[in-house]
Amino acid sequence: MGQIDIQKNLPLVLASAAALLLLLIVLWLRGWSDECDATLKRTLQQYGELQSHLSRYTAQRQDTARTSRTESENLFRLLNEKGTELGIARRIEGMRPASGKDAAVELLDVRVRSLYLAECIKLIESLEQTDQVNIDSINIQVTDKGLLNVDMRISRRKK
């Protein structure tokens, strides 16, 4: 007798089972979605903290490196290090101290040959970003091969 009732109401039983299965799937997806949201929020928060730490560390590192470099080095050493950092040390053709009106200012005439434009820009930016170092004059000539020859005078106030 129970079988006859099930067979009579088979479409209703199947529809109920499908609705129950659909409800379970929706609830599972909702729980999974909430889990994903929580994980995403945690990840974004950790990323923000990491970015904050990184920016503080970078600023602190630049300040200490910049301070220690400019205080302890003369311009010859500074320019040699910049050349090595930028990969142009072999193209620094000459450096000679220059005399100026103010004895408290260290002057250096520099000649760099066969630079690409990007290398020249990086060198200038690097020198300008160094504390207490100034480019007083610069002369740039283009060679036949399209490279740049740079003559410049850089200065730094002595401590």
Q: What digits encode the pLDDT tens for the residues 12-68?
A: 888 888 999 999 998 888 888 888 888 888 888 888 888 888 888 888 777 665 555
Tens-place pLDDT, residues 57-77 = 888 777 665 555 444 468 888
How is the chain split into domains, by residue range? 2-69, 74-157
Q: In which band, very low, low, confident or very high, does the pLDDT at 111 lie, cut at 50, 70 and 90?
A: very high
3-class DSSP state for residue 9? coil
Class of the domain covering 74-157: alpha beta
Q: Can you give the pTM of this predicted structure?
A: 0.53
Taking only the tens place, the pLDDT of each residue in 120-148 is: 999 999 998 888 889 999 999 998 888 99
Task: Using the CB atoms, write b or e for 31-41: b if 16+ within 10 Å.
Answer: eeeeeeeeeee
